[in-house]
Amino acid sequence: MDTTSATGVIPAVILCVDDEPNVLSALQRLLRRQVGKVLVAQSAAEGLQVLTQNRVDMVISDMRMPEMDGARFLEQVRQRWPETIRVLLTGYADVESTVAAINKGEIYRYIAKPWDDHDVLLLVKDAMERKALEQEKRRLEALTRKQNDELRVLNASLETKVMERTRALQQAFHELEKSNEQLRKNFLTSVSIFSNLLELRAGSLSGHSRRVADLARKLAVRMGLGGEEIQDVVLAGLLHDIGKIGLSDELLYKPVPALNMDEKSQLKRHPRIAQTALLPLEQMKGAAAIIRAHHERFDGDGYPDGLSGYAIPLGARILAVANDYDAVQYGNVLNTPLSQVKAYDYIIEGRGKSYDPAVVEAFKELVGGTQPHEEGGREVKSADLKSGMVLTRGVYTREGLLLLFKDCELNQKLIDQMVEFERLEQYALSFWVKAQG
């Protein structure tokens, strides 16, 4: 670090202490060219007095002085003004005194008499640069401590703000959960209303949508579909005939084989109409896609898009089996309704033609009486439910709507919601839980 000013003078104050006036004069003349100010004292006592009255950067003291020698003087300077640089002026014969000054006064350097002017000036320059570096180091350390203190205060403030923000977000999330739960209830209520309207229009087919939704759900579970996929299948089962709501009564109750070309054309539009009606509801997009394709055939002879095989959504392939199994027993798909046994045979015979063989296989196991092994456990009432219990079957409303998924682990909030649902709906739900070992 260069401590020299623009004029070439080091802005420093140096005190020279010596009992010989000629030595002081020589030092004063020499140093005056390089430093800002040179003070002089002819004794150690006078030097201490000068130090009490002035800010001094460096002291150059002779070793041999009456009353108090340089070693003792510099020792006092170190004790009282430790930041002042201390330099000893000594002769070659004063080795012991020089060692004492080094030990007691912790001097920076010593200058041997007679001195070399260039060496003295270089020593002063080096000493001032060192002092400037130490001062800058202390300044930076103080600044760092101050900034660290400010940072600690800021961090504490930030932690408080983060905690407050976290609490606010948690509260907002809780409110959002409540809103979402209410929206879900409203959505399920809306689906129930649509389904009820269809049942009112269906006449002799009353209950068809609920039966289809229930069988489709069981088939979806049997085939390993996920929770959201099962929900879409159930919703599609409840609303799969919503596109027929605009058909005339004559067309609605007329057996399909008896329809003329124009009537068949009108009937075949109902899957498209249903999808179009449901698409504005974001939660119904999956179910709407299933409804559109539930009259497609596995061999490609279905409608409305002529899809075949696995190009047909799996939910639609499931719904096709569930719908036709119920419709041939209670509806007007054929000229004469079939018995349950013949309806079962009707589905089996359609394997690989109308229906996906894998879905038919699941149907055989389900309707044939083989219950899925995973739906074991024990049935309990809502009053006996406890936190930590795990469902072995999904919990459904009478309308076939899924309330809780299979493998759901119950907590007190869910239990309270189920009890409240039973109170509002005035009927008991079916809860199957894992048997405790």
User: Does residue 186 or residue 351 have the better pLDDT?
Assistant: 351
How many other β-carbons are positioned within 10 Å of the β-carbon of residue 105?
Answer: 23
Distance spanning both ends of the chain, measured CA to CA: 81
Grade residue 402 by pLDDT with cuts at 50, 70 and 90. low
For CATH 3.90.105, the residue range(s) in the chain are 374-437
Of 24-28, 162-166, 290-294, 295-299, least confident by mean pLDDT is 162-166
pLDDT digits (tens, 9 = 90+) for 120-144: 888 888 888 888 888 888 888 888 8
Mean pLDDT for the stretch of residues 77-94: 82
Mean pLDDT for the stretch of residues 18-39: 88
What is the H or E stretch that residue 130 is in?
Answer: helix 117-202
Rounded CA separation 72/52 (Å): 17
For CATH 1.10.3210.10, the residue range(s) in the chain are 207-370
Supply angle C-alpha 273, 278, 279, rounded to 5: 100
Grade residue 109 by pLDDT with cuts at 50, 70 and 90. confident
At position 158, the amino acid (one-letter code) is L
Is the model's pLDDT at 64 over the cut of 60? yes
172: tokens are 């907002």
Rounded CA separation 399/297 (Å): 27
253: tokens are 């109750």
Rounded CA separation 326/314 (Å): 19
Assigned fold of 374-437: Molybdopterin biosynthesis moea protein, domain 2 (3.90.105)
Rounded CA separation 155/149 (Å): 10
Is the model's pLDDT at 374 over the cut of 50? no
Grade residue 392 by pLDDT with cuts at 50, 70 and 90. confident
42: tokens are 């002819």
Select 207-370's CATH number: 3.30.2130.10, 1.10.510.10, 1.10.3210.10, 2.40.50.140.
Answer: 1.10.3210.10
**Could you tell me which residues come within 8 angstroms of residue 356 by beta carbon, excluding any fewer than 6 positions away?**
298, 310, 312, 314, 317, 321
3-state secondary structure of 92: coil
Please give the pLDDT value at position 149.
85
Closest alpha carbon to 262 in 245, 274, 250: 250
pLDDT digits (tens, 9 = 90+) for 356-369: 999 999 999 888 75
* Long-range contacts formed by 219-222: CB under 8 A, 24+ apart: 219/318, 219/321, 219/322, 219/359, 219/362, 219/363, 219/366, 220/315, 220/318, 221/372, 221/375, 221/394, 221/406, 222/362, 222/365, 222/366, 222/372
Rounded CA separation 242/238 (Å): 9
Asked if 396 and 217 count as a contact pair (C-beta separation under 8 A), the reply is: yes
Asked if 319 and 216 count as a contact pair (C-beta separation under 8 A), the reply is: yes
Mean pLDDT for the stretch of residues 46-63: 92
Of 93-97, 132-136, 249-253, least confident by mean pLDDT is 93-97
Read out DSSP for 387-433?
TT-BBSS-EE-TT--EEE-TTPBP-HHHHHHHHHHHHHHTS---EEE
Mean pLDDT for the stretch of residues 174-189: 62
How many other β-carbons are positioned within 10 Å of the β-carbon of residue 31?
Answer: 22
Compute and round to an integer the Cα radius of gyration of the chain. 49
Asked if 75 and 51 count as a contact pair (C-beta separation under 8 A), the reply is: no
Is the model's pLDDT at 330 over the cut of 90? no
Rounded CA separation 297/295 (Å): 6
Q: What is the largest CA-CA distance in the chain?
A: 140
pTM above 0.75, yes or no: no
What ranges make up the beta strands (E) of 223-377?
none
Peptide bond into 114 cis (omega under 30): yes
How many other β-carbons are positioned within 10 Å of the β-carbon of residue 194?
Answer: 19
Select 10-136's CATH number: 3.40.50.1240, 3.30.470.30, 1.10.3720.10, 3.40.50.2300.
Answer: 3.40.50.2300
Please give the pLDDT value at position 188.
58
Read out DSSP for 295-313?
T--TTS--SSS---GGGS-
Mean pLDDT for the stretch of residues 63-86: 88
Is the model's pLDDT at 162 over the cut of 90? no
For CATH 3.40.50.2300, the residue range(s) in the chain are 10-136
